[in-house]
Amino acid sequence: MKNKFVVSAGKTSWLSSLGLVSSGMLLMVAIASAQAPPAGGGGPRQAPPPPPPPTAGAHLAIVDGSSASYSVTEQLVGINFPNDAVGTSTTVAGTLGIAADGSIEAGSKLSIDLRNLKSDQDQRDNYIKTRTLETDKFPMAEFVPTKIKGIPTMIPFQGQTGLELTGNMTIHGVTKEVTFQGIATFGRDGTIAGRGKTSFTFATFGLTKPSISRLMSVDDKINLDVVFKFKRN
């Protein structure tokens, strides 16, 4: 004999009861999922804190991550295309003071140790140091800034700006005014990082062009590229 399940008046069959139980379980799972923390734990994500308010002026010091590089276009004997000779020194130090009115404070100065210039050829490095720059007599290149453009008077802790930094550069015992053009990025951690470029000729600072047997010619223009990273004091 086959079993039969009958629904009588005022009573619910086992199928209806099963449906109610299943619906209740699904509802509980949905509620639990909505209340559960995101995968990986740690609770709900929080927005990062706002940056510190801008300051009127700043006292900045060079920190690790700064460098200075020269580049000169040269033509080597037996090679049909020009090559850019690039030498870099990571020994850069100094401070930069920006007053509340945007002017440069006295005592600001940046220094580059030319004895640590390094390119991809030791022969070139030795010649540049001993014959062109004469680093035994003039080991440092010094830049004393006199004015700056592009930096807001209220210096922020985020964002980016173009800038011009003008000052007196001393190389090989000769001082000339130069202007670096570049870009600066303001960090929430109080850093101001970026790069600036300028160019001049060998004659500007009384430098002698390299002249060696494997070198056919050297362009007269020297490009100077400074990668800077300052930290607010």
The tens-digit pLDDT sequence of the chain (233 residues) is: 444 434 343 444 433 444 444 444 544 544 445 455 555 555 678 888 899 999 999 999 999 999 999 999 988 776 666 889 999 999 999 999 999 999 999 999 999 999 999 999 998 899 999 999 999 999 999 999 999 999 999 999 999 999 999 999 999 999 999 999 999 999 999 999 999 999 999 999 999 988 776 777 889 999 999 999 999 98
pLDDT at 196: 98
pLDDT at 97: 98
Comparing CA positions, the residue from 222, 212, 118, 123 lying closest to residue 172 is: 222
Q: Are 132 and 208 in contact (CB under 8 A)?
A: yes
pLDDT at 212: 74
pLDDT at 78: 62
Tell me the whole-structure pTM to 2 decimals.
0.78
The beta strands (E) that lie in 64-159 are given as 67-76, 83-89, 92-98, 109-113, 140-149, 154-155
pLDDT at 2: 44
pLDDT at 6: 40
Separation of alpha carbons 85 and 120, rounded Å: 8
Q: Are 68 and 75 in contact (CB under 8 A)?
A: no
CATH superfamily label, 56-232:
Lipid/polyisoprenoid-binding, YceI-like (2.40.128.110)
Going from N- to C-terminal start, the domains of the chain cover: 56-232
pLDDT at 147: 97
